Amino acid sequence: MKKRYLFPDDYMADPSVHVFNGRIYIYPSHDIQLDNVENDNGDQYVMQDMHVLSIDGDPMTAPVIDHGKALDIADIPWAGRQLWDCDCAEKDGRYFLYFPLKDRNDIFRIGVAVASRPEGPFIAEPDPIRGSYSIDICVLHDDADGEYYLYFGGLWGGQLQRYADNKALENPYLPEGAEPSLPSRCVRLSKDMLQFAEEPRPVQVVDEEGRPLRADDPHRFFEASWVHKYNGKYYFSYSTGDSHLLCYAVGDNPYGPFVFKGEILSPVVGWTTHHSIIEYRGKWYLFHHDAAPSGGRSWLRSLKVCELTYTPDGHILPIPGTDTPV
Ligand code: FUB
């Protein structure tokens, strides 16, 4: 299968990709060179700014433009550390960048920054979104009702296990064995795009009998939610974290439940796997990252793209994460 490294000049990861004004815009995390501090808390991911990239043409071949720094944590009033995976949505000619960032108490919150152009620069709101927590943002603009739905959540360093019913727990709780796995969250955004319009709801990934996937299932949700629509169905895709897969599940509305369908990408080089899926000029593409160019250093990742194919009945054909099994 043909794949392309998009931006060999720098280490970037977690590509959230959208088509705005007929052009592909990529909103990646900006990885930083540092001595290895790799641990399960994600302390190796210390990103401090983000750039916007764009492509006008076939993403497998057309030039990739770096529009430069679009947001810097030095300009975010409530910033602590670690600017992780963001996503961008357009409404009425304004662009809203949603980003997870630790506050000064080392708690992940979700912030919003606004721009008049898709490449920024983005100006951060003074405070995080009220009631927000955890990481890994995806925004769906639903053509069915015109609303915007924000998905978020990630385990371990992403802190999702610290919450239940949208309230902080005194003691984090990670389900085990046959217990239902922890779900991602979905919330409708307010009309001004700056707050949640409701309480976030759990996004259940269920098997064909409607049972939530178990905590010990290698296909259960871990982080990196992404939602796209295909033939009127909602495709919820995500990373399984410690089993290193990208998987997908299909539902009938933005909140789910989503019925598990299969794997999209087998393990890549590097611990994390994270992606987005778009249609552009009649073809479908998977954007993701791996750590092969950095020799497998998981905190130095590189952006990749390849074509994605559906079967006639709407299944996604699995893609190999590497040319050789890992
Ligand atoms: O880039 C930091 C974290 O690594 C992301 O939030 C996760 O999805 C994983 O890719």
Other beta carbons less than 10 A from residue 27's beta carbon: 30
Query: Is the pLDDT reported for residue 36 higher than 80?
Result: no
CA of 313 relative to ligand 1 center, distance in Å? 32
* 14 annotated active-site: yes
Nearest protein CA to atom 4 of ligand 1, as residue:
272
**What mean pLDDT is predicted for residues 78-104?**
98
The predicted-structure confidence for 269-321, as pLDDT tens digits, reads as follows 999 999 999 999 999 999 999 999 999 999 999 999 999 999 999 999 999 99
- 202: DSSP letter: E
Q: Which of 46, 48, 50, 85 to mutate to test the pocket of ligand 1 (most atoms within 8 A of CB)?
A: 85
Ligand 1 nearest-atom number relative to CA 14: 10
C-alpha neighbours within 13 Å on the C-beta side of residue 213: 25
Query: Is the pLDDT reported for residue 162 higher than 80?
Result: yes
Query: Is the pLDDT reported for residue 326 higher than 60?
Result: no
CA distances from 319 to 56, 284, 285, 308 (A): 25, 13, 11, 8
- What spatial distance separates the first Cα and last Cα of the chain, rounded to whole Å? 16
Of 87, 90, 136, 223, catalytic: 223
Q: Report the distance separating Cα 110 and Cα 105, nearest Å.
A: 14
The backbone region for 37, taken as left when phi is positive above 0, alpha when psi lies in -120 to 50, beta otherwise, is: alpha
Per DSSP, the three-state class of 154 is coil
Query: Is the pLDDT reported for residue 244 higher than 80?
Result: yes
Residues facing residue 152 across a β-bridge:
185
Closest CA to 133 of 185, 174, 194, 75: 185
The backbone region for 154, taken as left when phi is positive above 0, alpha when psi lies in -120 to 50, beta otherwise, is: beta
Q: What is the pLDDT of residue 324?
A: 62
The predicted-structure confidence for 113-151, as pLDDT tens digits, reads as follows 999 999 999 999 999 999 999 999 999 999 999 999 999
Here the tokens at position 35 are 């001595």
Nearest protein CA to atom 9 of ligand 1, as residue:
272
Tell me, yes or no, if the pTM score tops 0.95.
yes
* 85 annotated active-site: no
Here the tokens at position 50 are 């983000």
CB 87 less than 6 A from any atom of ligand 1 = no
Question: How many residues does the structure list for the chain?
Answer: 326
**What mean pLDDT is predicted for residues 231-254?**
98
